[in-house]
Each structure stands twice: as C-alpha cells, then as structure tokens.
Structure 1
C-alpha cells in the first residue's frame, strides 16, 4: 500500500497505539483507586456516549469531506490526550475527570471511524479492497499489539503520568500522519444533499432491512456482551487478584493482538481452507469461549497471556470471515452510515457489558465471573446458525459480493428525491 492509503493506515495504527496506551493506563488507575465500581461506571458511560454519538454523527461521512472529518477527529484526540497528561502529572485524576476526557475521545472516534472506513474504500478499486482490508487488519493488530506493551512498560517504569504523556505524543504523531492523505483523495465524488434526518434514517433503515447483516450484527453484539468484559475491565481485577504486576496487563493485551496478527498473516486462511468458512468460524468461537473460561481458572500470569494469544487468533478468524464481503456489499453512498450503524450496535453491547459484569461481580468473585462470561459467549455464538442468507453470502466470490446487498435487498436502499452535489473530499 502506498501514498494516501499508506498514510491513512499508518495514522490508524498510531491512533490505536495512543488509545491503547491511554485506555490501559485509565483501567489500571481505576482498578487501583476506584475498584470494580469505578471500572463499571467508566466503561458503561463510555459505551453509552458512543451509542448516542455514532448514529447522531453517522451522516457526516456521507455528506462532508472525509479527510477533513478525520483531521477534526484526530485533533480532538490530541486535546484529550494532552488533558489527561496534564491531569496525571498534576495529580488531578479522578473518576469524573477520566470520564470527561473519555467522552471527548468517544465523540472524536465517532467522527473518525466511519469516515476512515469509507475513505479507504474510496481510494481503492474493488479488486484491491480484499487485500487492503487484510493489510488494515494487520495494521490494527500491530497498533493494538504495541499499545498495551508500551503502556505496560510506561506504567511499570513511571506510572500513569508517563503512560498518558506517551499517549499524547502518539496522538500528535497520528494527527501529522493524517495530513498526508490529501494529495491522493479522489477529487469529484457525488454526495447527497438530502436532509440530515432523512440521511440518518436511510442508513438505519438499510441496516435493519438487510436481513443477513442485521442478524449477523445483532448476534455479534450479543457475543460481545460476554467477550468485552473478559478482555477489558475484568482483566486488571483478575491480575491484581493473583498479585501480578502491571506489566502483565500490557503483555496480555499484546498477546491478544499478536494472535490477531498471526491470523491475518495466514493462520485464518489456512483454517478457512481446511475447514470451510462456516466450520472455521464455529471452531474459532468454541476455542475462544473455552479460553475465556480458562482465564478465570488459571493462576499464573504467563498462562493468562497464552489464553489471550489464542483468543486473538480466534478473533482474526471470525472477523476476516466476512469483512471483505460486507464492505463490498454496501453501496458507496451508504458506507459511512452503515459502518456507523455497525459501530452503534457494538457500542450498545459495550454499554450493556460492564453493567452485566458489574452485577456479576457483586455476587461472585472475578474468577467465577470469567466462567459466566465463557458460558454466555458460547451459547450466544450458536445463534449464528440462525442468520438468514449467511451461507449463500459467504459462498459468493469477491466480484459477486460487490453490491450484493442492493441486489438482494433493493427495498433497503431507497434514496430521497434530492439533488446531488459534487464536492471535494
């Protein structure tokens, strides 16, 4: 990948490094100073804010310059990181200040993420989209691999102040990289000028009426309710319960990303070739669920790290299973809105997950809660068997997948009768 595409992916990787460092530092501080209650409040509030902001801002990516939106969002992330750095160095961190800064970052990500996904597809012909998505997954894995490791080292060596300082430096670097996408963006895309309300509702309607995408997304969200606490807010509590140092928090996160990277580099393809797409997906779900349960049963930090590596490999299989097809299947003028709708469902699950985990923690110790998360993940994964049209959609070739949603569900993509404006992205 070269030029604007390379700059776009490099900016995303650096953003992930920054957010992973900051997120790990925030979770570690909350676990030590506010306990399970503080972790639950923080995680739930961030998810609720994302749930509101993503659909509200979703039409932006289909109406305004996508590169400019990315730059605005990156600038907000710089402001958030600098604020956290100043608070940490001044000793002003609290649950409320972390929530305020997290809210700013959540709104910034709601602007950046759909626009970035759509711009990547704009910059490439359909024949190169599959390779680009694979490279992007590798870049994302590298970002989330390095971030927890860097964060763990910063926490061990200098505490949260050093970790948030590192986050600020990385956020500034990501903003600079985002500036390099401009010379390579297409110059004359068509853009609807339908009303904001009509644009928003059209995206939500499309997401709902495309049955395969609707039920696939809902099932994935249900699985995330049990998956996210296991890899997020429960982890620092589990590590502190077995007396592990903060470096293991970073190592577990890095192992998760390393597993994803291993899948992207070939393991996922081998599994899908050997087992077939559907069998590989269900095998990955089963192994992932069992690994989540083992995190609550094992007492050695290195063993937990291995479990996270296995979980990462399983995640790469499930995510690469249909990501290319789903991206190509959406009409160009609906990409940002449907991507935002997908993220909204993810954040709905993320809003429910900490609340459920928090209720469980009030009744049982963290190791037993891991067992409950494992069982819930495995049971909800069975719902994928009921997703309509899933088998035929996954069986389509890359060429057949292009525009598949509109051909299969034409009623889902009714467009308002409006003029079309040409604007420079």
Structure 2
C-alpha cells in the first residue's frame, strides 16, 4: 500500500512541476539504474539474512519519502535531487524485492508454502487497491507534501513489522571481497542460463512482458481517456484489476489446479490473460472494460501462484535471490521496450487497436511456455519432489569451479 502511494504521488509532483520532459528523464534514469542494480546487488542477497535486508531497505525508502516530503513542504523542486532519491529507492528495492519474494520458503514448511504465497498475493492485491485510493484522498485533502509524509509513516510501519519476523541466521563466509562478489554474480547468472527450464521460463516471461507490461500499465489510463471517462473510472479500473487478483489469490487458483492440473492452468491462465487484455482494448463501455480487467487480474493471480511455489522450491536456497534478481532485470528491460513499442504504435493506430494487438500478442507468446524443455514434467511433481529439483537434475549448474575456490582460499 505504501509503495502504491509513492507510485502515484511522485510522478504527480514531477508532472505538475516539471512536465512531461522531466517525467521522461526521471523514468529513464530509474529504468537504467534498475537494470544494473538488480543483478549486481543480488549476490549480497544470497549471502546475508533476508530479514535485515528487507527491513533496512524499507527504512531507506522511509527516509527518501521524508526527504521528498520536506522538499515539497519547502517548495524546493530540483529534478537531479529527485532523480538521486529515485536511484536510492532502486538500490533499496534491489535488496527488498528479491529477498521478500524468496523469504517465504525459509519461514514456513514446504507443505504450507502454497497457502502462504496465496496469502501474500491476496494482501498485495488489497494494498494495490487501497494505495491509489488513499493517495488520491490525501492529495485532494492535504496536498502532495501530506501524501509524502503519510507515505513515509506507512513505510516505517512496514519496516517495524518486518523486524518482527523470526530471525534465521545465515551461514557466515569469511571471503567477502570483490573477487567473491564477482564469483557469486557469475555463478547465479551461469546457473540461470544452464538450467533449460529456468532459461526458457525467463525468455518467455521477457517476451510476454514486452506486451503485457504496457497493457496493464500505460494503456489503461489511455483507454479510459479514449472512452471519454473521468479519472474516477481510472481508479475503478485499477481497483477491478486488483479485485480480480484478490479472487484468484484466495481460492481461484486452487480450484483450477484441482480441476485441470498445474501445467494446464499455468499455460491456460496466461493465455486467458492475454485474451482478457485484448477484450479490454475492444471494450466500448466502462462496464465491459471493468469486467475485462477483473478477468485479467484473476488470470494473472492464477498463473502466478501456480508457478511461484514450484519455482521457489526448485531453486537452491543459496541461489534464490540471484536467480530471481536476474529475472527482475530481464523484466525491467522488457518494461523499457514495451512502452517504446506502444508509443510508436500509438502514432499510427488508435488506443483500442494497439491495446487489442498487445493482448493477442501476450496470448500467443504465453502459449510458447509449452515449448520449454521438461516444463510439463516439472509441474507434475508435488511440493516435496520439486524441492531443490534444479540442483538434483542439473548439479553442474550450481557447482563452483575448483580453480576459483582455491583462489578464494589463498
């Protein structure tokens, strides 16, 4: 919820003070920083305990929010300082996101992990729905500064909650220099590329997100605008997407898996999400748009939950952050390419036509998941069988070359 408040407030301030030019500079700076920060900092995420990583990252975000609140209160708009604050945010999230995405597998038993991931997805959907509403009300009643102050307080509460998690001591390693960091980074990227299933999964997600990202991002407000609707309908549309996520997170994915199986749900839900996005592009009324976006959210939650549990368990614990960070890096690259393609397409076609094409492209690319080696076999395994599956099936992908180990010892 706090992240969504910041997500709404900062672009709003930049757009009002500096216009589209400043907003473009900020967005590109953050995207480039993210591409490098995620993989470069990921070896540290596998090395140290995840709870302090997440909590310290939250504290850094809190400090950034308070600094921005102070700048707004003083009417001191400086783009370069704001960009620097954004870069600090990216570095903090480079620790928070991979660690928070993988810590569940360390905190709970294997048989409880699917339930925990559903709960996490559900609460994220609730926060995603409440955050923009809370930001909108605070912006209307108290202004931008008040919204930033509230954002900082919410992040402080989140940091406090994180510190209450059980502590899991990470194995200490004495060699922590640059050579060891470089070795860890290469080992993570090597493992991700060597395992055919992980490599194929990442490539499919990369190409899908080029079209899916804009379809659930910048094209939604443009679609609402093209229908001649007010900003209220934009909030309702975003809420519909979150409600769909919520319904899919609670029991929807379980019901589908028990009826059709994990693999079929993973592929089918991804394709249905693309079709629902295409329907959003072709919507002629606000009601049809809202229903289509709710279906998008439901399909996304069903698809994500089926894959998330198996993938978290299959990756060896000491490689989870690095491998997930590499996935996030590819997503960020796709997140840059997607809006560029959408912007070029919008110069020639209408929003509805571009939206529909992006939805069909998402559907077709999602079907390519069936081409990933051993993917059907992987999803047929139960949670006990899939634990550390990558290491068992591809041990050479996670072994450290003896020469490097001897150098580290020396």
Change beyond 3 A, Cα 1:291–1:166: farther
2:204 paired with 1:222: no
SS in 1 for 2:108: coil
* 2:126 equivalent among 142, 153, 164: 142
* Runs (5+) with no aligned partner, structure 2: none
Q: What is the match of residue 357 of structure 1?
A: 342
Structure 1, unmatched stretches of 5+, are 1-16, 420-425
Query: Which is worse superposed, 73-82 or 360-369?
Result: 360-369
26-35 vs 184-193, which deviates more? 26-35
2:33 aligned with 1:49: yes
- Stretch of structure 1 that moved more, 349-358 or 195-204: 349-358
Choose 24-33 or 257-266, whichever is displaced more: 24-33
1:293 aligned onto 2:299 = no
The whole-number CA distance in structure 2 between the counterparts of 1:151 and 1:191 is 43
Cα 1:33–1:390 change in 2 (3 A) is: farther
Of residues 373, 379, 395, the one that matches 1:410 is: 395
Cα pair distance change 1:356/1:96, threshold 3 Å: farther
Matched residues, number = 401
| Correspondence list, 1:169-180, <5 A | 169-180=153-164
Residue of structure 1 aligned with 2:116, choices 114, 132, 157: 132
Matches within 5 A, 1:64-103: 64-92=48-76, 99-103=83-87
Correspondence for 1:249: 234
Aligned-partner SS, 2:111:
helix
Which of residues 179, 200, 203 is equivalent to 2:188? 203
Contact 2:266 2:302 in 1 (8 A): yes
| Structure 1 length-normalised TM | 0.85
Q: Cα–Cα, structure 1 residues 186 and 148, in superposed 2: closer, same or farther, change >3 Å?
A: same
Distance change (3 Å), C-alpha of 1:45 and 1:226? farther
Q: Which residue of 2 aligns with 1:311?
A: 296
In the alignment, what sits opposite 1:186? 168
Q: Alpha-carbon deviation of 1:260? A: 1.2
The reply to whether residue 24 of structure 1 matches residue 8 of structure 2 is yes
Give the Cα–Cα distance (whole angstroms) in 1 for the partners of residues 144 and 218 of structure 2: 17
Matched position secondary structure for 1:363: coil
Alignment correspondent of 1:377: 362
Whole-angstrom distance in 2 between the partners of 1:291 and 1:238? 14
Question: Scaled by the length of structure 2, what TM-score is found?
Answer: 0.88
CA distance, structure 1, for counterparts of residue 21 and residue 238 of structure 2: 22
Q: Indicate conservation of the 8 Å contact 2:37/2:94, yes or no.
A: yes
